[in-house]
Amino acid sequence: MSAGPLAAADAKRLAEIMQALASPVRLRILSVLRSQPSTVTELSERLELGQTTVSNHLRLLRHLSLVTRSPEGRHVRYDLFDDHVTDLLEGALDHLEHTSRRA
């Protein structure tokens, strides 16, 4: 992308992604998936959340191309969409650490 102003459609899509990242639950889901692909059951147990809650958040994350799903028999395994999502999370975490040191 160029350094100029965002096109309206790109700004709208980026805002949707940023809104998705504004949820602590979705950030926690992404943080687990950053370390390993997981099923809804595994995510629910690890994050101590209901499966319905996790499934609803995963649906939105999939819609925004932040996670993918791969059927494995009777289960579905979720993973980060690609390295760009990992980079986005790591950049945000680096910024959090940077600003925490300055406070």
Q: pLDDT tens track of the chain, all 103 residues?
A: 568 899 999 999 999 999 999 999 999 999 999 999 999 999 999 999 999 999 999 999 999 999 999 999 999 999 999 999 999 999 998 988 888 877 6
Global pTM value: 0.89
Domains of the chain: 19-102 (1.10.10.10)
**At a CB cut-off of 8 Å and minimum separation 6, what does 38 contact?**
32, 46, 77, 78
